[in-house]
Chains A and B, each alone.
Chain A
Amino acid sequence: QQQVKQSPQSLIVQKGGISIINCAYENTAFDYFPWYQQFPGKGPALLIAIRPDVSEKKEGRFTISFNKSAKQFSLHIMDSQPGDSATYFCAASNPETSGSRLTFGEGTQLTVNP
């Protein structure tokens, strides 16, 4: 019930293309869904987040699409750039746990070729 499943494990995209990363969850208690970006040797950094009362959130080239009934959400990176090459983690927050603990997906290693 705490698991968040993320796919694909790795993704290679050409510069200017669209990168799409998908996540699915089971626990309907989750109420906040952030995406984190992690560069090698660095800690994860919050990229964009969504609450389940909306179906889409867009910030610049990054969009989260959220399907509450399917319990799925995805990250779309438009006009992908080589600087976007990083590992991306989806996460889900459970308010029924102390600190609204985040459960993370296993990560997607994105490579954007120039």
Chain B
Amino acid sequence: GAGVSQSPSNKVTEKGKDVELRCDPISGHTALYWYRQRLGQGLEFLIYFQGNSAPDKSGLPSDRFSAERTGESVSTLTIQRTQQEDSAVYLCASSYTGGGYNEQFFGPGTRLTVL
């Protein structure tokens, strides 16, 4: 079946603008994660959704970052008033259920460049 998809693949924006990134998880996966990957660095956890439960937002770096997910489908990550330090690749992953030893399947990411 189809893997995790993300759009857009690349986004260039000006400082101060808002951006919205989209993630389509694998169908049937109840868990969805967002990560940030800065150049030459590992993945940094941002937010976790599990079914209809309240999301774990503990990794969001500031209140300019927010995310939503409708049920067990699409998720959007919104960054308001973008700053140059927000430039990174934003990765989405989904898994059949959160926790345990469930494999996380990653999308190709959205490369965000803030000028």
Contacts and interface: CB of A to CB of B under 8 A. Distances in A.
Q: Which range holds the interface residue count of chain A?
A: 20 to 34
B113 to A, nearest CB: 15
B107 interface: yes
Interface residues of B, number: 27
Given A41-B108, A100-B100, A89 B43 contact: yes
Interface string B40-83: 11111100101000001000000000000000000000000000
Contact of B104 (A6, A46, A97): A46
B3 to A, nearest CB: 9
A89 B42 contact: yes
Contacts of B14: none
A51 interface: yes
Interface of A: 4, 6, 32, 34, 36, 41-46, 49, 51, 89, 91, 93, 95, 97-107
Top 6 closest pairs, chain A to chain B, by CB: A43-B106, A99-B98, A104-B42, A98-B56, A100-B99, A99-B48
